[in-house]
Chain A
Amino acid sequence: MNNSYKNDLTEIRQKVKQLLVSNLGQLEMLDPAEIKDDVALFGEGLGLDSLDALEIVVLLQKHFNIEIKDMNEGREVFATVDSLSRFIQMNASKDEN
């Protein structure tokens, strides 16, 4: 886990946006800065789907060493960039404690 993400939610959001744009084909034409923190990731909003959810799970494991075990939790976590970033921040803190 990257400790530099521990408290800086803004930095986490930027990193998440960059990862989404560089790893999810349908977002590659977007500038990460264009993605709003509260825009829905799935359905209307960014229009991601279940295959993208799988990619996000792998991205969390690969870049933050965070595992999504409970898919009910995953639904809430994957709602927006903000919710995803807060989840990363929270789990980063837990890990350090």
Chain B
Amino acid sequence: MKPVFIEGIGIISTRGRGLNKFEQALKEGWVEPTVSADGRKAYRVPKDALIDYNILKKVKRSDRFSRLTVFAACDAIHNSGLDIADLDKSSIGIIVATAFGPHATIFKVLEDIIDYGEKKVSPTTFAHSIHNAAASYVASALGCTGPVMTTTQFYFSFQQALLLASSWLNEGRLKKVLVGIVDECSPAMEYICEEKLSVAQNGKMSPLSCLKQPKFVPGEGSAFFLVSHDSKKKKYGAFTEIEITGDSHGWSDVDLSIIGTNAMGGSEEVYKDVLNEGIPVAAYSSIYGGFMTGNAFECVAAALMLKNQTQYASANVDGAESWNVVEKSKKRELNQIQCISHNNKRQLAFIKMMK
């Protein structure tokens, strides 16, 4: 795969909006999740993270899902040093990856149909229940006229989006691609998680323990990468390999492996097949919660570590197997990092990044 260089990153997590807040979260480690009025734990994005009048006036009817998307996408552009007004708008593609799409809005439409009848459903709300609405808002807010796509592949949506971005750049049809993820919590989602999955009542996920029946805490957020083939514009390293497979053992030439938690992928024992004592391993999902596209957050963490040449301590090492677990933050030479996630069929997805 031809390296896909990262020019800018935007991220919104439970710690708020911005790369600095995410980096601070990596340094601080685990904190208690938020608790809803009905007592459910989740790592939710704070309300004030989605207040910015300059952006909101461009997306004034948008729902929360679209705002999570647009804010992170705009931040990725700003983070690259580009001004939105100066963008070559026909040469930027947009790819939004999501596992569940705007499900909170979808539920709202369905509830309104049940409560009031289909004639009394808000047409605007219905329009937002479409998966591609968020990506369209990004295009509209930025004024981009290039291709716009939403990818949904449940467990590996982000990996598919990255592969597509790489293809678009390889074809030469675009100079840059804004590729990212978004997924949100909602009362319905949290209810389902509580009833059907195993939520960690102490608020701590422990992916490093590779449990057969892992416990998790739902999370949400959005992250975008502005990427290109232009090495001169590189700010945070590059994506160099992406592999989705049932039999791969990943790469042995990396300096660090980061494993993720997607909550619905079942047993995390599958990680035992690919982790070895030689390569340090870390996990950060207990900082921002478990969600299907959370692997993009691990990639943001990897990008920051490659840039800063610093490895951050795993957020929770309770019950960790005897891997070479990263327990302390420290300066270290890091040339390549792989981010690993899994699905419920014991397939693994690997994203390799380089300095």
Contacts and interface: CB of A to CB of B under 8 A. Distances in A.
A23 B62 CA distance: 11
B60 A26 contact: yes
A58 B62 contact: no
What is the size category of the interface that chain B forms with chain A? 10 to 19
Contacts of A23: 122
Interface in B102-151: 112, 116, 119-124
A24 B116 CA distance: 19
Interface residues of A, number: 11
A58 B61 contact: no
A62 interface: yes
Interface in B27-82: 53, 56, 60-62
**Central interface residue in A23, A25, A51, by most chain B CB within 10 Å:** A25
Secondary structure class of chain B's binding surface, majority of residues: helix
A26 B121 contact: no
A45 B122 CA distance: 23
Contact of A51 (B56, B62, B119, B124): B124
B60 A58 contact: no
A60 to B, nearest CB: 10
A54 interface: yes
Interface in B214-262: none
Contacts of A58: 120-123
B317 to A, nearest CB: 42
A11 interface: no
Nearest to A51: B124
A7 interface: no
A26 B53 CA distance: 10
A24 B56 CA distance: 13
Nearest to B61: A25
A64 B60 CA distance: 26
A62 B116 contact: yes
A93 interface: no
B116 A55 contact: no
A55 B122 contact: yes
A25 B116 CA distance: 21
A65 to B, nearest CB: 9
A61 interface: yes
Contacts of B121: 58
Contacts of A29: 53, 56
Given A24-B61, A62-B116, 7 more contacts: A25-B61, A25-B124, A29-B56, A55-B123, A55-B124, A61-B120, A62-B112
Which 10 pairs across A and B sit closest by C-beta, in order of nearness?
A26-B60, A25-B61, A62-B120, A25-B60, A61-B120, A62-B116, A58-B122, A55-B124, A54-B123, A58-B120
19 contacts: A23-B122, A24-B61, A25-B60, A25-B61, A25-B62, A25-B124, A26-B61, A29-B53, A51-B124, A54-B123, A54-B124, A55-B122, A55-B124, A58-B120, A58-B121, A58-B122, A61-B116, A62-B116, A62-B120
Interface of A: 23-26, 29, 51, 54-55, 58, 61-62
